[in-house]
Amino acid sequence: MKKYIYLSIVAAGLGISTASAQVYVAKVSKDSVGVLTGRLEALKISQKIQELKIDEAKEEAEVEKLRVKLLEANDKAKESAAKSSGHISKTGSSDINIKETEKLAKKAKNDMEDSQKALDRFNKQIRAVEKVRAEIQTEERKAGYKKPLLSFNYQ
Q: Is 106 inside any structural domain? A: yes
Q: Per-residue pLDDT tens for 47-84? A: 999 999 999 999 999 999 999 999 999 998 888 888 87
- In a domain, residue 86? The reply is yes
The 10 Å Cβ neighbour count of residue 84 is 21
| Residue 84 within any structural domain of the chain | yes
pTM: 0.63
Task: Domain count for the chain, please give it.
Answer: 1
Whether residue 85 lies inside any domain: the answer is yes
- Give tens-digit pLDDT for 77-129: 888 888 877 776 766 655 667 788 888 888 888 889 999 999 999 999 999 99
Q: What is the mean pLDDT of the chain?
A: 80
- For residue 92, tell me if it sits in a domain: yes
Is residue 77 in a domain? yes
Output 3 or 47, whichever has higher pLDDT: 47
- Helix and strand totals (H; E) in the chain: 3, 0
Task: Give the count of beta carbons closer than 10 Å to the beta carbon of residue 16.
Answer: 8
DSSP, res 95: S
What range does the domain containing 93 cover? Answer: 57-145
Smallest Cα–Cα separation from 115: which of 84, 87, 78, 86?
78
Asked, for residue 45, whether it belongs to a domain, the answer is no
Assess if residue 2 is contained within a domain: no
b/e sequence 19-38, b meaning 16+ C-beta within 10 Å: eeeeeeeeeeeeeeeeeeee
